[in-house]
Amino acid sequence: MTALTPPSIGNGRCFIIGEVALTHDGSLGLAHAFIDAIAAAGADAVKFQTHIAAAESTPAEPFRVPFSRQDTSRYGYWERTGFAEADWGGLADHCRDRGVQFISSPFSVEAVDLLERIGQPFWKVPSGETGNRLLLDRMIATRLPVVLSTGMSGMAEIDAAVERVRAGGCTAGVLQCTTAYPCPPERVGLNVIPGFRSRYAGCWVGLSDHSATIYAGLAAATVGIDILEIHVTLSREMFGPDVPASVTTGELRQLVDGVRFIERMVQSPVDKDLAAESTRPLKAIFTRSIVARGGLPAGHRIDAADLAFKKPGTGLPPDRAGDVIGRTLARAVAADELIREEDLA
């Protein structure tokens, strides 16, 4: 496998993954179309899932949630939507041509073997496989980083998986994930991310989002994440179990732009004193000065009723009104004319 770990991960720039999963529905042409659309939206990687039916399921495995009118079992679904190794290689080449990383989650040791020959920057472990030691050990043997989704795991299982990856000499990543499609806001678990950061010091942390919105990813960016994974669809009218939990490619573009905007904000703290100094020329335009409410003759003793406070702020500021009231004008002042220090006797 070619080592392609992006140097940006963990360096203050969120690595954004557009997850296709099986929304291509077994169409190789559609899978390639997803690559073009996700790359154009500005993501860093396009991710698929590699299911090898005979290595993963028995023919009798039923659907957890029936959704297909043509597949009677998950085994049949994996068979129909799977690609040959040469097809996977073509998808990986297409990703590299478009300047994005190719990633696919393996669901069996045989899938790891295939993807190792294809090449990808790190392993992404699906939530249901985080406790699968046999699969983890096969990934660890490649010495590539291993990123864990945690949607079906308690802290003890996550601890054990992270320790196993680290003990094998690999970089570990931990993504907060909630296995709900789509995930409601009260179950996103934004609070978990800072906890992962402190608990697994030195690991990549992030969010695997199934909310079908851009909001969760934007919120996660404000607390600091290394990786954001989000399901993507070309249209909400597409077929497939992941579509209800996906954003469109247009929304993905908004998400990418928003994350980059947030990163710049977070990395650019503002000094209010310096900021105020830099806007001093503007302050004269936007603040106010003491002016004559109406025309006043020379020798006039100024009363509060004689004064108004209007822009620009190039004369005496309003808070000097107490110093002006009771003074005598040394010269005549027209209506709306600024009253200056030298005008006062």
Instruction: List the CATH code of the domain at 15-266.
Output: 3.20.20.70
The fold of the 273-343 domain, in CATH, is Type Iii Antifreeze Protein Isoform Hplc 12 (3.90.1210)
Count of H helices and E strands in the chain? 13, 11
**83 vs 266: CA distance, rounded Å:** 42
Question: Residue 60: pLDDT band by 50, 70, 90 thresholds?
Answer: confident
Nearest partner of 247 among 198, 281, 209, 280, judged by Cα = 209
> What would the pLDDT profile of 128-139 be if each residue is shown by its tens digit?
999 999 999 999
Residue 298 has pLDDT above 80, yes or no: yes
Supply the pTM of this predicted model.
0.88
Domain boundaries, the chain: 15-266, 273-343
Kindly report the number of other CB atoms within 10 A of residue 111's CB atom: 22
Residue 23 pLDDT class (50, 70, 90 cuts): very high
pLDDT tens digits for 76-125? 899 999 999 999 999 999 999 999 999 999 999 999 999 999 999 999 99
Amino acid at 302: I
Residues listed for the chain = 345
Mean pLDDT, rounded, for 29-43: 98
